[in-house]
Amino acid sequence: MRKKILFLITSLTGGGAERVVCNLSRVLEKDADIDILINSESDRDYPHGGHVLTLGMDFTKKLTWSVQLKALLKRMSILRKLKKDGGYDACISFMDSANFANILSGRKHCKVIVSERIMLSQCRTKNYIRFVHPAVKLLYPHADVVAAVSKECALDLKRNFGIPKDKLTAVYNGVDLPFIKEMADKKPAVELEEDFFYFLNIGRLLQQKGQWHLIRAFSRVSRSHKNARLMICGSGSDEAYLKKLAKECGVSKEVIFAGFCYNPYAIASRCDAYVSTSLFEGFSNVLIEAMACGLPIISVDFKSSAREIMSPDTSFEHKQQKGIERAEYGLITPQNSGIYREGSDPLEESESALVKAMELMIKDDELRKHYREKSLERAQQLSLENIAGKWLELV
């Protein structure tokens, strides 16, 4: 018998959670009837399946507290009616505000599943500490299932927010392999010159992504490997600082700031290796997408998901402390300090390990070939079809 599922999220515009909902709706509609409830009609950045419902609110990107409160109350009212009369087997919500509304509107008529996309304890802004963290502790235990995006995120919810173990599970994000292959074959927005070795980093230019550590490490690599280049795709508040740092480090010509790229896959498929210096993630979509493009991976051992993606047979609680780990699906180096640095500051020990990993990837053709094949293997394991089946099991 076909299931009926209601997805709940603010919009289908923007970031990773929105893309996950759209991807899941396309795959799951083969086996279930799908509705998606969003706040208002707006642009939809990704192809989706199912039928979209709205709260009828005016679209805004400024999610002030008054907008959030209004949305919460309206969501709760509409959700109570939909859950009672819609015949849903489950309501699956994404992001904090949607999760709170899902729980508060009750689980009498359908299963309440909330998806936690980030490592909550790492979110230390005033709003999170004052409002979101207490609400999570109070409300999440009343959901039927709390689906964290990684095992480490699930442990974080148990240890730091008191969510009962029997409520928790981990469901990774899936990678849309056919879509990525299609996009990778298109012409890239940025021209990549022949005879250069391109390292790639994709992500918002924000503190969380730690790109200054990567630029500092790359500047040392560039001294002995004149053909090395670093491509950074993304935009954000750290952009001016990162460009200034590249100039201080003498690599302003070797570091290419490509800005926001609608199709990063066309660039990724033409680069030579991917490097992540994130301070923390929920689940790193970009790592598995880079793997799907056949890129060998270098990553610091960030919380959470680096180890779960790259070394799934080891404990995610183990963290690389020194040197380079040749993990099953890539090279892992120690986490960086997360302290903003200048170009003249000495390298951290973790940054030196990153230098050695990048140089190893340049010099060792066999290693690069090995990890390219392992990346494609891991991407297949984390295909969207495989992950969608896990969601259906929860319902």
- Checking if the pLDDT of 298 tops 80, the result is yes
Q: Tell me the average pLDDT across 24-44.
A: 90
Q: How confident is the model at residue 79 (pLDDT cuts 50, 70, 90)?
A: very high
% of the chain at pLDDT higher than 70 = 98
Mean pLDDT of 180-206: 95
The string of pLDDT tens digits covering residues 239-274 is 999 999 999 999 999 999 999 988 999 999 999 999
State the number of CA atoms in the 13 A half-sphere of 252 facing the CB: 10
What's the pLDDT tens digit per position in 103-161?
999 999 999 999 999 889 988 888 899 999 999 999 999 999 999 999 999 999 999 99
Residue 63 pLDDT > 70: no
Domain 178-381 grouped into CATH 3.40.50.2000? yes
Domain residue limits, the chain: 3-171, 178-381
Q: Which is more confident, 205 or 123?
A: 205
Range with lowest mean pLDDT among 28-42, 100-114, 243-257, 286-300: 28-42
Sort residue 154 into left (φ over 0), alpha (ψ -120 to 50) or beta.
alpha
What is the rounded CA–CA span in Å between residue 350 and residue 141? 38
Q: Are 128 and 261 in contact (CB under 8 A)?
A: no
Q: What pLDDT is attached to residue 68?
A: 77
Residue 137: per-residue pLDDT: 97
Write the DSSP assignment of 295-357 as a string of letters.
--EEEE--BTTHHHHH-TTS-TT----SS-EEETTEEEEPPP------TTSPPPHHHHHHHHH
Domain spanning 3-171: CATH 3.40.50.300: no
Extract the tokens encoding 47.
């192809």
| pLDDT of residue 43 exceeding 80 | no
Q: Do domains 3-171 and 178-381 have the same CATH topology?
A: yes
Predicted confidence (pLDDT) at residue 16 exceeds the cutoff of 70: yes
Peptide bond into 304 cis (omega under 30): yes
Higher pLDDT, 69 or 289: 289
Residue 230 has pLDDT above 70, yes or no: yes
Where does the pLDDT of residue 58 fall: very low under 50, low under 70, confident under 90, or very high at 90 and above?
confident
pTM, full prediction:
0.88
Which one, of 119, 115, 292, lies nearest residue 202 by Cα? 292
Residue 296 confidence (pLDDT) above 70:
yes
